[in-house]
Structure 1
Amino acid sequence: MRVTITVPEETSAGFVVASDREPGDLAAMIRQRLPSPLAAAVAGRLGTPRLVFADHPADSSPWDLSEVSGADEDDAERARLAKRHIGVTCVMPVGDLPSGPHLARATAKAIAESLRGVLVDLATGRTLPAARLNRLDDFVLADDWLGTVLPPYRDSGRCTAGEDDIDGCNCVALRTRGLRRFGLPELEITDVACPHDLAALNILRTTAQRLLPLGRHPGEHVLPGELMLTSADFSTFWGNRDPMWDDGPIGVRLAEVTPGRLGIRAPASFPGTLNEWLWDELPPVLHELLTCEPDRATPPG
């Protein structure tokens, strides 16, 4: 059964720098902090909807950061308690993807670095780690754009299923937060047994990468009944050029869960359960690879 997705004419992205410092001249700060090619690209967008700044005291801010989370709990706590919120937002035609969100986030990173603040991704509700300021052509989806993290293994000790039981539980549900800024529906995979959580996450990542190029083209897109995920899709997600598995493509089914969200299912031809498919049919690398450093100078995928 086919699924139709509709890519809008324009989309938006937003980030907040939570800080205790007054921001001062933001435009000058950006020029000083960003590498020259990024600074030039940002300068051409300032004063247009493609790049807008806003500074608010936290107690009158339009952004509620009280539920912000992140890998570094100290950063999350700093964001929740900060005295000022500096917003960086962009509204852009989808043809400007992924450059628009990439430039907005690089700008917000520069502000956070200058103010010693904490950068918060509004789409995911998570803090972003300090990182180098990327080149314009250095976008990779793996760079904290999906907002999806693994839950505590074995459901924080509440799961009592046996380690070797392929279908022993259905504790894990993984959902993206952040694909909408690329003009795409969010994705989810649910009813996953704890031992297969990483494989499920990598299927989610690879599916997101497979769909990403559609976000540049507004209008309706009819997806085939079975979407074929390739080794190149998984490599591109990480920003790598070399294949990451040797076998052929993996077929997945997509189903509309709610407007704006698609669920990932095992292929219709597979006779077993989702967990049996995750265990039996996937390349080993999808069970093993949690993170990976990108190759440099990789073009946008």
Structure 2
Amino acid sequence: MGEDLTLPVPETLYGTYAVACAAPIADPGELAREEVTRRVEPPLRGLVLGMLDSPMVTLDQRPASGFPPLPAGLLAAYGAPSGDLASISAASHLLAVRATYRPGWPPAHEWAARAIAGAVGAALSAPVIDVFTPQVLDQARLRRSLPGPDNTIRLTDWMLLPHTSRPNGFWFTTKGLARFGLPELQTENVPPALVEPWGRLLNGLARRLLDLWLEALRTGGLPVAVDLPETVSVGLHDIAAAQGAEDPMRREVPVRLRLDASGEPVLTVRAAADGPGGFEALCAALFGTPSHGR
């Protein structure tokens, strides 16, 4: 308790999206500028156009065979409609939209790449693929995920929370915190009855950690590493904030993080207090028991 975790800060972050085109685009850059100007509202429009005219954004169009194949199985598992999968399979060309930016706020690499790919995809009625996830983004969801005039986003629009059944319970992992430079979260052996509440808790913890991470990066220069607390409190207000909402209740519970840097860095989430029933006790303390509700 009370110790810190030292997390490395990447020098550069990347956002990559693909547009599956039925035919080649004569001038991808011109089309992107026209459609961003037409479809993206300010102030985001200015940021995107500025990056589009800089080396931070590249538009790479090739025959579909010139790129590694998109993972159709994963796209389907993450909800891609059969019609989009068919369009991706039949696409003659892919337009890869890549953007780079430093860690911090705003995550301009993601906002710019997603906005450009979305605008081009809308103009061509072509599927847009978030290569990071990987996931096909329909236009309604894509537009909703982009920041509004106040530059706020819903974190849940930028991450997934897959979970897999194992002999001793469910294994959870986030897929999205790495967009911001953070390690992903994971939890093992979550009891089946806690799948829904533990997923909510992890969404709130992701929001809380992102806030702590961004605060640590607001130092002027980009640090090589930042320290985050090993024990973190997550509350109902964090869970609501991850969904772009508010919860007036300040109920919180502590969780403990362990950094595993043996491969791709990941943060394992455990109950702060050792002993049996840790997950059950955390969820009951945060959400209330099923018989009493919140």
Q: Same fold (TM over 0.5)?
A: yes
**2:133 touches 2:176 (CA, 8 Å); kept in 1?**
yes
**1:22 touches 1:84 (CA, 8 Å); kept in 2?**
yes
Structure 1: distance between partners of 2:180 and 2:234: 19
Matched, 1:175 2:173: yes
Matched, 1:4 2:6: yes
Residue 41 (structure 1) shift: 2.0
Structure 1: give runs of 5+ residues left out of the alignment: 160-168, 287-301
Residue 26 (structure 1) shift: 2.6
Q: Any idea what the Cα deviations from partners look like across 1:170-211, whole Å, max 9, x if unmatched?
A: 331111222112011111112112221112211221111111
**Residues paired across the two proteins, number:** 267
> What is the TM-score with the length of structure 1 in the denominator?
0.78
**2:99 touches 2:112 (CA, 8 Å); kept in 1?**
no
Matched, 1:147 2:156: no
Partner of 1:58: 64
Residue 10 (structure 1) shift: 2.1
RMSD, matched Cα: 2.7
Q: Which amino acid aligns with 1:148?
A: L
Structure 1: distance between partners of 2:186 and 2:161: 10
Distance 1:200 1:28, change over 3 A: same
Matched, 1:113 2:112: no
Structure 2: distance between partners of 1:97 and 1:257: 27
**1:231 touches 1:249 (CA, 8 Å); kept in 2?**
yes
* Equivalent residue for 1:195, pick from 188, 193, 196: 193
Partner of 1:237: 242
* Equivalent residue for 2:51, pick from 24, 29, 45: 45
**1:121 touches 1:127 (CA, 8 Å); kept in 2?**
yes
Partner of 2:275: 271
**1:52 touches 1:89 (CA, 8 Å); kept in 2?**
yes
* Percent identity of equivalent pairs: 25
* Equivalent residue for 2:258, pick from 255, 259, 274: 255
Partner of 1:224: 229
Which protein is richer in helix relative to its size?
2
Residue 40 (structure 1) shift: 2.2
Matched, 1:16 2:4: no
**1:174 touches 1:188 (CA, 8 Å); kept in 2?**
yes
**1:68 touches 1:76 (CA, 8 Å); kept in 2?**
no
Structure 2: distance between partners of 1:231 and 1:109: 33
Which deviates further from its counterpart, 183-192 or 73-82?
73-82
Give the match's secondary structure for 2:43: helix
> What is the TM-score with the length of structure 2 in the denominator?
0.80
